[in-house]
Amino acid sequence: MTNKTGIISNCFDNRTYQNQPSKYPSWKVMMGDEEFVCYTNLDIEVKQGDSISIEYDISKKTGKKFILSNSATKMPMIQVMPQDGTAPTDDIPLPDDDLNNFEPDPFGSNGVVDKNPTTNFNYGANMSKTVDKKSMQIFSIAMTKSALESNQLKADKVSIQNFIKEMKTIFESEF
C-alpha cells in the first residue's frame, strides 16, 4: 500500500458504456502521466483540477495501479484536499498534565552523588561482558574475507592469523 498526493489532470467515469451498466464499474483517475483505476460503482466526487490524496497498490496480474478500498466500509481510499482553507489550522489542545504546578527536585542540583554500587542505577556498568563466540567467529571471518577480496591483506598464513587476532580484540572491546 502506497500513498500519493497530486492534482487530477483527467478523471473518467467508466461505470456505464453506451447507456448500459458496465460489468466492471470503475473510475480512471489521471495524475500527470500516471493512471489509477478505482473499482467502484459509487460516486467518488472528484473532478479535474482537484488536489487529492490516494492509497493505491499495483496489480500483480496486470501491473496497473489501482486505488484501494477500506475493507470495512468498502469506500475507496481517495480524499480531496481542501483548497479554500477549511482544513483545521489550530493546534489540538492537549490535556494539562499539571505542568503549571511543577516544582523542581530540590535534591537534583545539590551536588550529592551516590557512589554506592548497590544503589547506583548505572545499568550495565557493573555487569561483566560475555563474548558470544559464534558472533565473534562470524565477524572475524567476514572481515578477513572482505580484506582479502579488496587486496588489503596478504593471502599468507601469518598475515591472516594476525588479522584475525586483531579482529577478535576489536570485537571483544566493541561488542
Reported as a single tens digit per residue, the pLDDT across 63-114 is 899 999 888 888 899 888 877 656 555 555 556 555 666 666 666 555 555 5
pLDDT of 24 over the 90 cut: no
Which pLDDT score is estimated for 169?
85
Is residue 33 within 8 Å of 63, Cβ to Cβ? no
Which pLDDT score is estimated for 65?
92
CA–CA separation, 74 and 52 (whole Å) = 19
Which pLDDT score is estimated for 144?
87
Residues pairing with 32 in the sheet = none
Q: What is the mean pLDDT of the chain?
A: 79
Identify the CA nearest to 29 among candidates 16, 17, 18, 40: 40
Which pLDDT score is estimated for 160?
86
CA–CA separation, 24 and 27 (whole Å) = 10
Which pLDDT score is estimated for 35?
93
pTM over 0.75: no
Query: Higher model confidence: residue 128 or residue 76?
Result: 76
Query: Residue 46: what are its φ and ψ, rounded to 5°?
Result: -125, 155
Query: Residue 62: what are its φ and ψ, rounded to 5°?
Result: -105, -20
pLDDT of 119 over the 70 cut: no
Give me the mean pLDDT over the 149-167 stretch: 86
